[in-house]
Structure 1
Amino acid sequence: MREQLSVLEKRGNTNCFSEANFNHLLVTMKDRTYPEGTHLYWEGDVSDKLYYMKRGRAQITKSTDEGKELIMYMYQSGDMIGQADPFFGSKHSFSAEVLEDSEIGVLEHKDLEMLICQHCDFAIDFMKWMGIHHRLTQTKFRDLMLYGKPGALCSTLIRLSNSYGEPHGDHVIIHKKITHTDLSNMIGATRESVNRMLSDLRKKDAIEYDNGMIVIKDLNMLQGICHCELCPNEICRI
């Protein structure tokens, strides 16, 4: 019981499920451990499972024709990963890589379909989860396409602060070491252009670094550059 409560306390993008429906998920899924560097699935694999992060972190990536890897999403404890597609049997559009040793609950689509058939309120909660997933994708593409690389970078910094940030007075420290290469892969830019844009933000006193961690000093400036629409945190996340 204590283990189940600890899982309930760390829910991420599954907050849309009621406690009863979330318990249905926990009982149905099968626990697996995945070492760092392994893949939950590859782009093109049949989408027949969902994955719940009980412990650890994972990232969703997309490979371009030139071999560059774009980081689409980053997930942590409490998040559910998988193709948000009601038409079971589709193929994954992205790859999912485990970033650290992780404990993950695996939910087969056939078991998910059974839950949806047996519990109509569960079906409604699952539709809410799908809606959050789609809105997250839409807002990310909006940031990448409408306001250039500076807007995409500022949006990414805001999303990182919502996912990993900790307030310190008027500043927010992002307690994850994010390299310039990581940032370039998140916004589809070169590492050199990310270096240049970060230097500009430091000169404007919008950000700084503290022991390798990014510190956001002027959130309003970042929001202005990316034309922030003040989405809720479950949408505005990395």
Structure 2
Amino acid sequence: MVTIFNIEPLPPKIRKIFKENGSIVKVSKGSHLCLEGAPVKDIIYVVSGKVILSKENVSGKELTLRICGSNDCIGEGIIFSKTGYYPFSAKALENSNIITIDKNLFEMCLSQEPDMLIECIKWLQLQNLKTQTKLRDLLLYGKKGALYSTIIRLTNTYGILQDNGDIVIDYPVTNSNLANHCATSREVINRMLNDLKKSNVLSFEKSIITVHNLNFLKDECECENCPLSVCRID
């Protein structure tokens, strides 16, 4: 069994800024690191654990934007931005260790090191590409495309290839979680997952999904075979 893909999300030079200038904080499962609409103070680096980024509308409906894991950054979209408010909420999915650094200090460190600034720009471009592909799948291919592409991204991020060719997504995900990723209801996700199970495209047990036919999912949502560094859930 092998992990399909493993990426260090944040360039080493950027991680160095956090480690040399930030403060280490332990965060318990369920705790909020920041709230949508709150004044911006810190940029956050995830040392270990998992953190979910999401947005909510006035009725409480949630849209999951990303799942950040180790060596990932939270708040890159507000770097050198004048908005002054967090555009999302961040909540720990498990006990996590993070490093926080004041936004102004982070920007100053980047400004003083042109090489680091270039690395940051490259990384921001990658994050923008991820967002664009997610929006494409959600808007052009409807709920089915959103679900199928989300499962593909989960396999690229957490997938473990089995000897028989199956891919086990080594990350527990409920139907409600998937619904939040796809901006739809849990009932719609239940129906589509059961259809996929009947067709032997995938199976699931105790929130762990095993994909038996990844090519079917790719064909159905007209997968453009984006680089694996782009087609991820984080």
**In 1: Cα distance, 2:34 partner to 2:167 partner:** 34
Pairwise CA distance, 1:92: 1.4
Offset of 1:80 from its aligned partner?
0.8
The one-letter code of the counterpart of 2:99 is G
TM-score by length of 2: 0.90
List, as ranges, runs of 4+ consecutive aligned residues in structure 1 with deviation greater than 3 Å: 19-22
Change (3 A) 1:22 1:93: closer
Match of 1:71 among 57, 61, 64: 64
Cα distance in 1 for partners of 2:73, 2:120 equals 11
Report matched runs for 1:88-103 at 5 Å: 88-103=82-97
Matched-pair contact (CA < 8 Å) for 2:18–2:99 = no
Residues 1:49 and 2:45 are matched in the alignment: no
RMSD after superposition: 1.7
| Corresponding residue of 2:101 | 107
Partner of 1:161: 155
* 2:127 counterpart of 1:130: no
Count, aligned residues: 226
Distance 2:98 2:215 in 1: 37
| TM-score between both structures, scaled by the size of structure 1 | 0.89
The alpha-carbon deviation at position 211 of structure 1 amounts to 5.1
1:207/1:216 contact within 8 Å kept: yes
Q: Give the C-alpha shift of residue 65 in structure 1.
A: 2.4
Which residue number corresponds to residue 6 of structure 1?
none
What corresponds to 1:177 in structure 2? 172
Q: CA deviation at 1:11?
A: 6.5
Gaps of 5+ in 1: 1-9
Query: Does the 8 A contact of 2:18 with 2:100 survive in 1?
Result: no
Partner of 1:145: 139
Please list every run of 5 or more consecutive structure 2 residues that lacks an aligned counterpart in the other structure. Answer: 1-5
Which structure has more relative contact order (CA 8 Å, sep 6+)? It is 2
Letter aligned with residue 41 of structure 1:
C
Q: Is the 8 A contact 2:203 2:209 kept in 1?
A: yes
Aligned mates of 2:92, 2:62 — CA distance in 1: 15
Distance of 1:91 and 1:145 partners within structure 2: 26
Pick one of 78, 82, 88 that aligns with 2:75: 82
Deviates more, 1:228-237 or 1:190-199: 228-237
Task: Provide the rounded CA distance (Å) in 2 between the counterparts of 1:11 and 1:104.
Answer: 19
Q: Secondary structure at the match of 2:8?
A: coil
2:216 to 210, 215, 221: 221
Quickly say closer, same or farther: Cα 1:139–1:198, change in 2 above 3 A: same
Q: Give the Cα separation in 1 of the matches to 2:18 and 2:172.
A: 32
Measured against aligned partners, the alpha-carbon deviations of 1:102-158 in whole angstroms (never above 9, x if no partner) come to 110112112112212211000001111211221111111111110011111000001
C-alpha deviation, 1:182, in angstroms: 0.8
